[in-house]
Amino acid sequence: MTMIDNTGAGALPGRPRSERDRIRRRPHRASRNAFLSPALILIGVFTIVPIVLTFIISFSDWSMLTPLTQLRWVGLKNYGSVLTSPSVLGAFKNTVIYVAASVVITVPLAMAFALLLYTPVLRGRNIVRALLFATYVVPTTSIVIVWSNIYASGYGPLSTMLSAVGIHPPGWLSDPRWSLYSLVIFNVWQMLGYYVVLLIAGLTQVPEELYEAAKLDGAGFLRQTWSVTLPLVRRSLFFVGLMTLINSIQVFDPVYLLTQGGPAGSTETISYDIQRAAFQYGQAGQASAMAVTLFMLLIVVGVIISAFMRRRRA
């Protein structure tokens, strides 16, 4: 018996683990394929294939109103016309400003709110957290409607309140200098609660001892936050920044519903331009060239951010 077992072990190295491995692996090829294929096929067909198609269409002259067989290869012509069009360049600029303003406002504000709502002695902080999060589940369409009324001059509450304290309210949506930032404000309003929840979760991961240590070293609240808390929630902050970027780069609903890119092109964003070029003018090639440019921009930003994060970690 022993001898047979030994030769067996000699023939199959690692035998002691084999029983466990066999149980883990045995039935799996079939069920693995069966369980993975629905998700993989759906994501493959409706995400990966369209990415490839976007590239192909971007090199073609093709009206969406005609069948795919009318597709004609034109090389980089679409990129040439898109990247020299002042309106498209303006849309890229507006999108960058919109995204930058959203990130710059959202991340510090969410952090401050998270710190407040993480303070243990405060009663009712969970209710406030839920209230903040509630705006995330309200349809953007509804948010656009209520905020356009809050912004309204005359019967709108915001202008009334500002006038009451002696500030002359700007033309929130009608003044080209303000309109884009007015859209940023309700983007921040809608998304803030989600990020506060994420950051509070990050804060719960900071070991209590570190605060005590900092306190013994004589650090006050601000110093503790700056030197202990922020470095330790860096990953959460990074994630929040990234999500803000991804969410705000595709701003479409408020532009379509409220401003149609105006006044004076001040709220024309790249998502709005892509949808309009394709679905109103049928210019699928140019819309795709814009989409690819946006995609490339995102990849560049992603590479820069991850390189930066890696350097910080090292």
Pick from 10, 13, 16, 38: which binds another protein (CB under 8 A)? 38
Q: Does the protein bind another protein through residue 150 (CB under 8 A)?
A: yes
Q: Does the protein bind another protein through residue 236 (CB under 8 A)?
A: yes
In angstroms, what is the minimal distance from the CB of 75 to another protein? 19
In angstroms, what is the minimal distance from the CB of 253 to another protein? 5
Nearer to another protein, 41 or 89 (CB): 41
In angstroms, what is the minimal distance from the CB of 267 to another protein? 16
Nearer to another protein, 2 or 31 (CB): 31
Nearer to another protein, 134 or 264 (CB): 134
Pick from 134, 264, 304, 307: which binds another protein (CB under 8 A)? 134
Of residues 176-215, those binding another protein (CB under 8 A): 189, 192-194, 197-198, 200-202, 204-205, 208-215
In angstroms, what is the minimal distance from the CB of 18 to another protein? 14
Nearer to another protein, 177 or 281 (CB): 281
Which of the ranges 78-86, 100-108, 124-132, 259-267 carries the binding residues for another protein, by CB under 8 A? 124-132
Q: Are 241 and 107 in contact (CB under 8 A)?
A: yes
